[in-house]
Amino acid sequence: MGFIFLIISLVLISGFVGSVFAQTTTVENEFTQDDIDKMKNKAVLITMNDGYFLIEFFPEDAPNTVKNFLELVESGYYDGIIFHRVIPGFMIQTGDPNTINPDSDPETWGQGGPGYQIKEEFNTIQHDRGIVSMARSQHVDSAGSQFFIMHADDNRLDGKYTVFGRMVACNADDTAIAASMLLKEFVSTENNVLTECSSFPTLDKIADIETDRYDRVLDAESARIIKAEVLDSFFAGKGTPDPERNNSLVKKLKVEGGITERYVNTLHDIEFDIPYRWTVIEEEGRWVNLTLEPTALEHNVQQMIDETGFTPKILIGSEQRDRSTESAGVSSAFFSLKGGDDPKILSNYIIQNDAGRKAHIVISTQNIQTSPEITQFKIIQIHFSNSDTNYSIIHINLTEWFRYEINSFYNTVRHFEISIDGMTQPIDFGDHSVFQQLIADSREKPAPESLPPARIGGCLIATASYGSELAPQVQQLRELRDNTVLQTESGTVFMAGFNQFYYSFSPAIADYERENPAFKEAVKITLTPLLTSLTLLQYVDIDSEYEMLGYGISVILLNIGMYFIAPAVLITKIRSFYKLQ
């Protein structure tokens, strides 16, 4: 199955060479509703040697893509091009000008394009039979002229390729009307109502053309487009259903500093940026019910999860707005943990943005009995509304770890959008001075609380090397840190400084260890002398700051000797030996 899907993925690539040598990406246009309506009332008729394709468009979902396609059709770009790649039960692909010449080299098929690229317009339309979607290379903004028509449903492509149209069935129960007289030359009509249209039979004919092992058609003439023409004043009949849609999709967006994932839910008209290396879990129901959690790739959070057993969460929900229950114009909703003590309110504010919309922000703690001790949770929640819906964003974490993941909540709120006055707009509470101050305070280290052990010298590299927090070598490091080094003031100061340096590179090394077994073994070998030298501290009595400094500096010098001086001396000796030879 994995191999088959790899082949399918490669099929949809417009051509690596074509994308590499393509010119600049076209500028995305701003479209008015009038522009959308005009494109909606157009269709394209593709005439083949043995049949026709009639394609309607979804400019409300992909206006720039539809505009580009219509312009290419009107220029005659697709005339003579063949459906060069065919996979029955999946899709048929065309749009490469390299296929026009009957003597063209099939090795070049799939690599051509218009000389420019357009930006993706991924949407929630499902890739069902008859859907028309843009092919592209690995980069999301690499589509140009190549497109594919789905021969069968395959929703693995949803949200990853730009759907911009679909074939029209044009049968007696599902009519389509076209005022263009041109259409009458190709299909049977009566009072401008199509009574015969061969889109889907033609699709099946193309899908049945014999191909080579690379899915390239062997009979090019049977797959050749004779002419592609734009039809004006087109609209689908009443029997034409809307395309099937997914409720949501996750889009990758290029932002300053890298790539971010954006969650888009068209059913509830909400959007927000997903925290880095977190995921969204959707629950069923009439209203928004989302849980955001860190993935296994968020190694810093995984350290906390391994140690405490709790996974920090961001909850996003909605409900019908009931103004009769509101106080000061905001929802009276309040989140607390079931089975816990009464929450202790730390902060409680009502804020108002420049547009006059209000939000209620509450920070609280709550104790829950967890055998054999009491665990304290800290919760920050913000509640806001549009004209008919209340929304809540809630972050829950253990109190001692709360400040480490508060940025995930902060970024979610700052980039959260809902439907306001019929348009999806930012809620605009993230930059409010009160909210900013609450977040800044939440990031501060609570006095007199010290940093949790895993963050003060957490064993990310050792854990990745030996495979588990429970490995004897990792336990040795933790016990030495907690029972020896951190028992003195000088040791605590050293670990605080070391923490800043260590966490600047350890996550990257730990990631690479998990990806590369050979590198993991090399790191394990490299760590062995260090672990051996540290065991010396277990056999001495350290009862004072003076002794801690003395033994600590001695171990540091010992490791400098093993890792730097000894190799340098060895290299020097080897070089001297070869010079003598």
pLDDT digits (tens, 9 = 90+) for 222-267: 999 999 999 987 766 556 788 998 888 888 887 776 788 999 998 8
Looking at per-residue pLDDT, the higher value among 441 and 482 belongs to 441
How many other CB atoms are found less than 10 A from the CB of residue 81? 22
- Which stretch of 367-371, 386-390, 499-503, 520-524 has the lowest confidence by average pLDDT? 499-503
Does residue 578 fall inside a structural domain? no
Q: Are 438 and 489 contained in the same domain?
A: no
Does residue 516 surpass a pLDDT of 90? no
Q: Are 232 and 265 contained in the same domain?
A: no
Looking at per-residue pLDDT, the higher value among 325 and 504 belongs to 325
Pairing of strands 313-320, 389-398: antiparallel
* pLDDT, position 380: 97
Beta bridge partners of 317: 289, 392
Q: Are 413 and 556 contained in the same domain?
A: no
d(CA 311, CA 100) in angstroms, rounded, equals: 57
Which CATH number do you get for residue 207? 2.40.100.10
CA within 13 Å, CB half, 296: 3
C-alpha closest to that of 280 among 256, 319, 247: 247
Q: Are 541 and 429 contained in the same domain?
A: no
Looking at per-residue pLDDT, the higher value among 507 and 103 belongs to 103
Domain range holding 495? 453-570
Per cent of the chain over pLDDT 90 is 52
The answer to whether the CB of 209 falls within 8 A of the CB of 218 is yes
Does residue 230 fall inside a structural domain? yes
Does residue 161 surpass a pLDDT of 90? yes
d(CA 475, CA 533) in angstroms, rounded, equals: 15
Q: Are 172 and 270 contained in the same domain?
A: no
- Which stretch of 25-29, 91-95, 559-563 has the lowest confidence by average pLDDT? 25-29
What are the tens digits of pLDDT across the range 176-221?
444 343 444 444 444 444 444 568 999 999 999 999 999 999 999 9
* Domain termination site, one of 443, 469, 495: 443
* Domain termination site, one of 174, 209, 236: 236
Q: Are 291 and 400 contained in the same domain?
A: yes
Q: Are 187 and 260 contained in the same domain?
A: no
Does residue 544 surpass a pLDDT of 80? no
Q: How many domains does the chain have?
A: 3
* pLDDT, position 468: 61
Question: Quick one: tokens of 482?
Answer: 């907690």
Does residue 576 fall inside a structural domain? no
d(CA 517, CA 467) in angstroms, rounded, equals: 11
DSSP letter at 106? G
* pLDDT, position 185: 45
Q: How confident is the model at residue 170 (pLDDT cuts 50, 70, 90)?
A: low
d(CA 371, CA 518) in angstroms, rounded, equals: 42
Provide mean pLDDT across the span 426-444.
95
Provide mean pLDDT across the span 75-97.
97
* pLDDT, position 346: 94
Quote the distance between the C-alpha of residue 462 and its chain's center. 30
DSSP letter at 341? P
d(CA 114, CA 1) in angstroms, rounded, equals: 34
- Which stretch of 93-107, 267-281, 459-473 has the lowest confidence by average pLDDT? 459-473
Does residue 172 surpass a pLDDT of 50? no
DSSP letter at 96? -
What are the tens digits of pLDDT across the range 21-66?
344 445 456 889 999 999 999 999 999 998 999 999 999 999 999 9
Mean pLDDT, the chain, as a whole number?
Answer: 83
Does residue 424 fall inside a structural domain? yes
* pLDDT, position 547: 78
* Domain termination site, one of 415, 443, 471: 443
Q: Are 185 and 291 contained in the same domain?
A: no
Q: Are 439 and 458 contained in the same domain?
A: no
Q: Are 90 and 158 contained in the same domain?
A: yes
Q: Are 168 and 23 contained in the same domain?
A: yes
Q: Are 36 and 129 contained in the same domain?
A: yes
* pLDDT, position 21: 35
Helix count and strand count (H, E) for the chain: 15, 24
- Which stretch of 72-86, 207-221, 485-499 has the lowest confidence by average pLDDT? 485-499
Longest dimension (CA), the chain: 101
* pLDDT, position 173: 43
How many other CB atoms are found less than 10 A from the CB of residue 409? 25
Does residue 128 fall inside a structural domain? yes
Give the three-state DSSP class for 135. Answer: coil
- Which stretch of 125-139, 325-339, 430-444 has the lowest confidence by average pLDDT? 325-339
The amino acid sitting at 309 is G
**HEC-encoded secondary structure of 25-91:** ECCCCCCCHHHHHHHHCCEEEEEECCEEEEEEECCCCCHHHHHHHHHHHHCCCCCCCECCEEECCCE
* pLDDT, position 176: 43
Does residue 70 fall inside a structural domain? yes
Does residue 371 surpass a pLDDT of 80? no
Which CATH number do you get for residue 269? 3.40.1000.10
| CA torsion, ordered 419, 421, 422, 424, to nearest 10 deg | -40
Q: How confident is the model at residue 95 (pLDDT cuts 50, 70, 90)?
A: very high
Q: Order of strands across the sheet with 176-178?
A: 189-190, 193-194, 176-178, 234-236
- Which stretch of 28-32, 33-37, 306-310, 373-377 has the lowest confidence by average pLDDT? 28-32
Does residue 575 fall inside a structural domain? no
The answer to whether the CB of 167 falls within 8 A of the CB of 151 is no
Does residue 303 fall inside a structural domain? yes
